[in-house]
Structure 1
Amino acid sequence: MALTLTPLDPDRFDDWRSVTRRRLIALRQESGMLVGDDAVAHADAFLDQLLPDGAETQTSVILSIRDGGHELGTVWLASMTGMLMIIDLSFARDPSASQRDALFSALVAMARDHEADRLSVPLSVTDDRTRGFIEGRGFACASIQMLLEPLPVRDREPQILVEPMAAERFPSFAAASESAFAEELAASGRYSLEDARVESHRQMTQELPDGVATEGQELFTATVDGEEVGILWVGLRSRGGRPHAFILDIEVAESERRRGYGREMMLAAERVARDRGADSIGLHVFGANSGAIALYEGLGYRRVEERHLLHIAE
């Protein structure tokens, strides 16, 4: 019999939710993206947000993946303009190559039925079954969450001066940062340019409601011989009950690139984190930014979660 995707029986929803909750917690803890109760709280908030009406939620569909009389697993889907998103793909056991092929064909067909030209898949670095499903099928890494833990000891004198950003510098920084982030969102394929601009503005407003005075946000300018060479934005968060830093933006002035200042600002972020009591730093990078990825990995950052995107041919 052919592989089929059928709506999950509503009577199974509570059991599915419980299993999926445990899976989400385990994936984030195993990857190191979240630890302890942070992973539990994140999974609960995630499920509550995306499934507010339980099995009756209209914005999600949960399908049973069946091959003959056997259930291979489940797939949780949601759609947005132009994109079919796989929120979670769970296999009860390793599927065969032919079963992966059949599932891929079924999901692509479903995307086309929804007039979507992109298929999005999240991937925890410890989720080998999902990785096996997407490999060799034309997916590209759209974005990466990375982590540096613990902070290394660097025997190196700073080559740049990093100081708190002046209030009068903030408006031009905010406009440039918001614009650049919107362009990267659009280039990643996750948003249209118009939607990317809306999302970028939403995030900027949410993260920095009080500009340079926003509590828990540290904005800096980097200078060499009195000339600005870049900006650094570090958010102060909590991870496993301990202080944690997150690099929200780092930018070297275009005229100052290829001089090692990007690396120097990353090292400055480590000093900021350590001064604030943190022993870990996280960041997000778009998959197309190969230069930045190489820099971060060279400094010891590791991937904890990725998002992959497939552009579906006509």
Structure 2
Amino acid sequence: MDPVVVLRDMRQDEYDVYSEQQIREYVESLATTAPYEVSVEKARQDRATFLPRGLATEGHYLLVAENDAGQVVGSVWLGLADPRTGSTEMAWLFDIRVESAHRRSGYGAAILGAAEALAREAGARRLGLNVFGDNAAAIALYERSGYQVTTQQMAKRLRSGAE
């Protein structure tokens, strides 16, 4: 039987921990294709742009996922508008996480499904997201859940002749 989750609003103490972890991991991912200092600045700018008021940012849900036993199994950051166009026809999944102790147990799909339902209830007709190309587990989850590639960027690290 697939697990069931309930989404609830993130508390401030949970947001503080989540925010620190999310930014650190975002910088690490960005730093695979850009200098570290540039990655830190982009992460800082993106946070200021998309969550200028933290938990109180209008049009954004920062939620904790709990299983039927009341255990926190993950979290999700859902925006109710496309960050590129501002259209509310497409909501945006900024981040989805499953706690390490609960991975590979179906909670990713359950959290994703709950986020999709919330977006649908808010009037969105589509749910968009970005995923880093080296995140095979997330890509597999999205493909199993019916997501399709709509844009794609590729890069290759070039080495100097001295390397």
TM-score (norm 1): 0.47
**2:75 is equivalent to residue 231 of structure 1:** yes
| Alignment correspondent of 1:180 | 25
What is the alpha-carbon distance in structure 2 between the residues aligned to residue 232 and residue 241 of structure 1?
20
| Alignment correspondent of 2:57 | 214
Matches within 5 A, 1:153-172: 159-172=4-17
| Alignment correspondent of 1:290 | 136
Residues 240 and 199 of structure 1, relative CA distance in 2, 3 Å threshold: closer
Residues 258 and 157 of structure 1, relative CA distance in 2, 3 Å threshold: closer
Point out where structure 2 has 5 or more consecutive residues left out of the alignment.
none
Runs (4+) off by over 6 Å: none
Point out where structure 1 has 5 or more consecutive residues left out of the alignment.
1-155
Cα displacement string for residues 245-293 of structure 1 (whole angstroms, at most 9, x for unaligned residues): 1000111111221111111111111111111011100000000111111
| Alignment correspondent of 1:192 | 35
Q: Answer whether contact 1:243 1:276 (CA < 8 A) is retained.
A: no
| Alignment correspondent of 1:273 | 119
Cα displacement string for residues 177-211 of structure 1 (whole angstroms, at most 9, x for unaligned residues): 11111111112x2x122221221121112211111
What is the letter of the counterpart of residue 282 of structure 1?
Answer: G
What is the alpha-carbon distance in structure 2 between the residues aligned to residue 251 and residue 240 of structure 1?
24
What is the letter of the counterpart of residue 148 of structure 2?
Answer: R
Q: Answer whether contact 2:91 2:124 (CA < 8 A) is retained.
A: yes
Q: Answer whether contact 1:246 1:283 (CA < 8 A) is retained.
A: yes
Q: Answer whether contact 1:219 1:232 (CA < 8 A) is retained.
A: yes
Cα displacement string for residues 66-105 of structure 1 (whole angstroms, at most 9, x for unaligned residues): xxxxxxxxxxxxxxxxxxxxxxxxxxxxxxxxxxxxxxxx
| Alignment correspondent of 1:119 | none
Q: 2:105 is paired with a residue of what secondary structure?
A: coil
What is the alpha-carbon distance in structure 2 between the residues aligned to residue 259 and residue 307 of structure 1?
30
Structure with bigger gyration radius? 1
How many residues were matched structurally?
157
Q: Which has the higher strand share?
A: 1
Give the drift of 1:171: 1.2
Residues 233 and 241 of structure 1, relative CA distance in 2, 3 Å threshold: closer
What is the alpha-carbon distance in structure 2 between the residues aligned to residue 255 and residue 273 of structure 1?
27
Give the drift of 1:243: 2.9
What is the alpha-carbon distance in structure 2 between the residues aligned to residue 295 and residue 184 of structure 1?
19
What is the letter of the counterpart of residue 186 of structure 1?
Answer: A
Residues 240 and 247 of structure 1, relative CA distance in 2, 3 Å threshold: closer
What is the alpha-carbon distance in structure 2 between the residues aligned to residue 226 and residue 286 of structure 1?
31
Report the RMSD for the aligned CA atoms in angstroms. 2.0
Q: Answer whether contact 2:3 2:106 (CA < 8 A) is retained.
A: no
Q: Answer whether contact 1:248 1:283 (CA < 8 A) is retained.
A: yes
Q: Percent identity?
A: 33
What is the letter of the counterpart of residue 289 of structure 1?
Answer: N
